[in-house]
Structure 1
């Protein structure tokens, strides 16, 4: 495997250059190494089904989707060339208090040059990422695709969302091939009471290790003016996985719940991944450029190309016992504060300028 490794004090990351996926993220904290990201168990197996996109065959960690889902404007595999083809190392250099590396996609996307920058800082339990598009024409939908997994389930928490929706069709509608828990299509402004397929309701913040299903739901950020975040408190792993964004850049968070609900290869009914996919997109490139439901809600679903466009995301983890996520996450001067329901707080080192959250008056 062609991997480039980047390391700073207490943290390291590896990028699979063949597809641009994060092959590993390791954070030293609490006297142990936390590995918050999922890596598909079938990678490098010789018996994979023919015709799998490279991004599925080597599914791991996090990667850039451009476009998100179907590539039905410019021919490319599922989630586009950034998730399925080779990247070149452009630089790897020391910076004050850390290290950064830059990579360039060998393919163009809608005529644009695509660059990836990974930054690690000494003592920070976070990977800081930026992707940019230079030149090109038309518009592109984008999303990050970080994935975690939970051996014994866990609880999720989110920055304020104004609604959650499922698409018109279930990801796995054929009971011979898979199963789903949520209703399709469905919509709720209360994430704790989302319609399920049986006519009842489920809590989207509850991730059960024993409940097998394949589902996809889009969460739309509320207009709260702050940082967007998702926290995943993993019970067995004793940690909390954090995914942070600027909602002005990436206004939706899509949850891909692939927990044993696909019966066919290469999934084969195995408990799998929870994707926390922050994006600026609808489902599919053409849909993102057209008159989609998100645009009717006032949500942008693509970036215009032609100049220079960049967006950022942060992913990391901290030790956490008890399985309860924070109720709020707030950046401060060089810190990130997690506040919990019992009134306790926890601070950790954080680059509070990285996400470029504009103060609103």
Structure 2
């Protein structure tokens, strides 16, 4: 696997150039601990002949985080699932030291809707975060986008979110055929209370609770509330004793799509072994490129689902992934960013601060359509 690794003090990130997936992310913590917040599928590295021949490259090498452009089905411009950004080769354009860290720029060999696509990674000494930006230059039409970070748990965990106004499942589940898999949530369904989302069997479930005993594939979209601050997801992983953090600017990426993949697919290459995985997929998208451009349910809620592309103009959006040691059972109730620190606010009002680039996500700036 051809990868490029960039490092700063206390952190390293490796990119699989064949498909643009993060192959590894390691964060050094106190006491010699090494935190690994991102997941790689158990079949990565197996012989291609051992897997179904129709699998897209991005599934064959499913790892870490990657850019979806479009998100899900490519039914406007021909491409595999999640687009060429998640399935084809990237080149290293720049990789060098910056003041207090490291910066690397990668360029997709293919174009997306006529646009050139750059991926920019920045690591800062002593910061437990990957700061990333994607830039679309030129092109025409519109493109839906989403990040696709995946983490995995051995013993489940608890989630917390920035304020959301709505949670919605699509019309049909990911695995409707009981001979191939299973699901737990009701489809379609919606709720404004994330602690009480409808279940297919009746009753409700707390979306903040990831339980290992619930073997299932589920997908649900969370719509950001108008709160004017950071968009974030925090996951306290029980067995790993850490806190996985995923942050965004809600003006750029107004939805967070949760993919629960906990042994809910019985066919190859999943084969019931993709267990304890959670995708935290911040995006500007509906499910599918054509759906994102059409009159979808999110647009009816006033939520943007694509970026417009224009020759001579660029569009960019930013995203942050990180992890810190964390022994509490409950994740923070709030995250606050200011003066080069990210404050994790606990249920009792106490807070701890960690090094963070407070200007990176540019909260409050205007975002082009």
Report the TM-score when normalising by structure 1: 0.99
1:238 and 2:241 are equivalent in the alignment: yes
Give unmatched runs, 5+ long, in structure 2. none
What are the superposed Cα offsets for residues 90-140 of structure 1, whole Å, 9 maximum, x if unpaired? 000111100000000000000000000000000000000000100000000
Residue of structure 2 equivalent to 1:105: 108
Q: Number of aligned pairs? A: 360
Find the partner of 2:341 among 316, 332, 335.
335
1:1-361 equivalent positions in 2, closer than 5 A: 1-31=1-31, 32-46=33-47, 47-270=50-273, 271-306=275-310, 307-358=313-364
Contact 1:12-1:27 within 8 A present in 2 as well:
yes
Contact 2:168-2:220 within 8 A present in 1 as well:
yes
SS at match of 2:304: coil
Measured in 2, the distance between the counterparts of 1:62 and 1:273 equals 13
Measured in 2, the distance between the counterparts of 1:198 and 1:342 equals 35
Measured in 2, the distance between the counterparts of 1:359 and 1:311 equals 11
Measured in 2, the distance between the counterparts of 1:330 and 1:132 equals 26
What are the superposed Cα offsets for residues 133-160 of structure 1, whole Å, 9 maximum, x if unpaired? 0000000000000000110000000000
Measured in 2, the distance between the counterparts of 1:330 and 1:210 equals 33
What are the superposed Cα offsets for residues 213-244 of structure 1, whole Å, 9 maximum, x if unpaired? 00000000000000100000000000000000
SS at match of 2:134: strand
Measured in 2, the distance between the counterparts of 1:137 and 1:58 equals 30
What are the superposed Cα offsets for residues 248-277 of structure 1, whole Å, 9 maximum, x if unpaired? 000000000010000111111121420000
4+ residue stretches of structure 1 with deviation over 4 A? none
Measured in 2, the distance between the counterparts of 1:172 and 1:357 equals 37
1:359 Cα deviation (Å)? 7.1
SS at match of 1:18: coil
1:209 Cα deviation (Å)? 1.3
Measured in 2, the distance between the counterparts of 1:87 and 1:59 equals 16
What are the superposed Cα offsets for residues 27-75 of structure 1, whole Å, 9 maximum, x if unpaired? 0012210000010010111211111100000000000000000000000
Measured in 2, the distance between the counterparts of 1:252 and 1:328 equals 18
SS at match of 1:56: helix
Contact 1:225-1:359 within 8 A present in 2 as well:
no
SS at match of 1:255: strand
Measured in 1, the distance between the counterparts of 2:365 and 2:111 equals 34
Q: Aligned-pair RMSD on alpha carbons?
A: 0.9
1:13 Cα deviation (Å)? 0.2
